[in-house]
Amino acid sequence: MTRADRRPWPSRRFLWIDVAWGLFALLNLAAILVFAEWETVPFHFIWVSLTILYGFRVWRVTSTLTLLGVIIVATGILLSIDIAKGAQPLDELTEVPLMAAMFLAMVWHARRRLSVMETMKEVSDANLRLLERERRFIQNASHELRTPITVAIGHAELLQRATDPSRMAADARVVVEELMRLRRLSDRLLLLAAAEDPDFLHKKPIEVEPVLVEALHRWSPTPRQWRLGATDEAVVDADADRLALAIDALVENAVKHTTVEDWIELSVRRNHRVEISVADSGNGIPAQDLDRILERFGRSDASRLRDVGGLGLGLSIVKTIAEAHGGRLQVRSEVGKGSSFEVTLPLAGSEAAAGRLSDEGSGTGGGRRRG
């Protein structure tokens, strides 16, 4: 739908122009009837003025066709009357479809040009939004990368001057942690850059539950109330490393937005597809930020205010990995009540076929559930 189709006609802004043209058209219609000897001069005045009026601003399709039909019928009837009186030759009636065809050609070109202009504006707006996201990313990246580098350099300098072995060990540990943080950031940037490569994934059938259990073991030292929820048996055709990375990113995001008193639950459910969920009882996400946080380099305003860190890459990585597997990432959240992030993936080929046969035989869906 073009911009013209969203605007009313006649419009209040140009109502006086529309009224003036309407009066001009009526006068010329009357002139055709009263002054038959004028040939078709008033007739041409109507069509030329209509073309100029339409060129001034493009109308809705329905308004254009309605007005065109009225002009065709009115001019055709009046010319027919003049022809019946013998004031005009019969071939003058061919002017009506000819002028209508010329007007329609002009309408088609005008709407095509308007459509192209609107497409260009949309592309321009999209580029401006992309440039704004990149600007925010550069600002966030500069801050996030500068912090671990500064900390690592500071502790490395302390190591140079330290004489206490225990103090040297503590400073060395900080250096290692900050350098590992830098490596995680660079790994995520590289992953996003490689997402379009054809060999981005190396799929094979894997069970989802062990991947969740391993993630839970990795994160269990972090002080939270950890839970393993529903664990339906499910097999997906997936890249095990990429899937583990996506789950880690969801868990890391949950950790950032929770406290030691909050719970974080990992679960997997199988229906016609596999639903991997990471839910928490944290502070939640405002509704206006739900779309933004899934974009590359996007973070919620609340995250910025709390300075929870991160470049806004984690969730965009999860979305990229899910979509590369033919799935999707969904989020449900309520401020003060927590969030739930759900990665939905297709079943492995054999599992999907077995599920269809089971549905046909029993009339029910779903897989077996353990635990």
- What backbone phi and psi angles, to 5 degrees, belong to 225? -90, 95
DSSP run (H or E) holding 118: helix 95-161
Tokens of 42: 């008033």
Evaluate whether 256 touches 308 at the Cβ level (below 8 Å).
yes
Span 215-267, pLDDT tens digits: 999 999 999 999 999 999 999 999 999 999 999 999 999 998 899 999 999 99
DSSP run (H or E) holding 103: helix 95-161
Instruction: Map tokens 């979305």 to a residue.
Output: 319
Same fold, 139-194 and 204-370: no
DSSP run (H or E) holding 369: strand 369-370
Tokens of 211: 């991947």
pLDDT at 356: 52
Domain 204-370, architecture per CATH: 2-Layer Sandwich (3.30)
Evaluate whether 252 touches 313 at the Cβ level (below 8 Å).
no
Q: Which residues pair with 235 in a beta bridge?
A: 207
What is the spatial distance between Cα 115 and Cα 210, in angstroms, rounded to a whole number? 52
Instruction: Map tokens 């597997």 to a residue.
Output: 325
Q: What is the distance in angstroms between the CA of the first residue and the CA of the last residue of the chain? A: 52
> Which amino acid, 199?
D
Span 308-351, pLDDT tens digits: 444 457 788 899 899 999 999 999 998 888 999 999 999 987 55
Tokens of 98: 């000819």
Q: Where are the domains of the chain?
A: 3-124, 139-194, 204-370
pLDDT grade for 371, boundaries at 50, 70 and 90:
very low
DSSP string for 40-104: THHHHHHHHHHHHHHHHS---HHHHHHHHHHHHHHHHHHHHHHHHHTSS-GGGGGHHHHHHHHHH
Percent pLDDT > 70 in the chain is: 79
Residue 170 Cα distances to 162, 173, 361, angstroms: 11, 5, 63
Higher pLDDT, 90 or 126: 126
For the chain, helix, strand, coil in percent to 5 are 65, 15, 25
Cα-based angle 132, 135, 140 (whole degrees, multiple of 5) = 125
pLDDT exceeds cutoff 50 at 365: no
Q: Which residues pair with 289 in a beta bridge?
A: none
Tokens of 249: 């990113």
pLDDT exceeds cutoff 60 at 305: no
What is the spatial distance between Cα 174 and Cα 156, in angstroms, rounded to a whole number? 9
- Residue of 124, 99, 125 lying closest to 46 (CA atoms): 99
Classify residue 128 by burial, with Cβ atoms within 10 Å: 0-12, 13-18, 19+: exposed
Instruction: Map tokens 């073009």 to a residue.
Output: 2
Q: Which residues pair with 362 in a beta bridge?
A: none
Any idea what DSSP says for residue 335? Answer: T
The CATH number of the domain covering residues in 139-194: 1.10.287
